[in-house]
Amino acid sequence: MSGQQSQGNRCDAYYRHVAAYNRPRAGFEAALVGMIDAVEEYARAHAETFESDVSDDGVLGASLAGAIFAIRGLLDGELGRLDGGYLWDRLTQVAKAAGWRDLDHVAKDAR
């Protein structure tokens, strides 16, 4: 496969993933997108309400870390049209926005 074909395939995979994330099909896609969006919303609401990152909360931080870590495990399963690498990156962005440095630090805080 030529470099140009390879790049074209990566672009196709990216656009297929974006389409699936923005309009997930019922089942695996909707469940994964919903869970990732839900933990992001929870972290955002916590930050707005308590003016601190949820990762700094000794009780709620561990629980949200557990949820993020569980979603990470689901990326080994069926993803539909979604791409696991892009979901990993998205979950990492969510974890960072919640105050963790990366997914390894989430795992350390997870219950």
Domain holding 68, by residue range, is 3-109
Query: Which residues are CB-neighbours of 46 under 8 A, at least 6 positions away?
Result: 52, 53, 54, 57, 60, 64, 98
What is the tally of structural domains in the chain?
1
The end-to-end CA distance of the chain, in Å, is 45
Name the pTM for this structure: 0.84
Sign of CA dihedral 52, 58, 64, 66: positive
pLDDT tens-place values along the chain, 111 residues long? 455 556 667 788 889 889 999 999 999 999 999 999 999 999 999 999 999 999 999 889 999 999 998 999 999 999 999 999 999 999 999 999 999 887 777 777 776
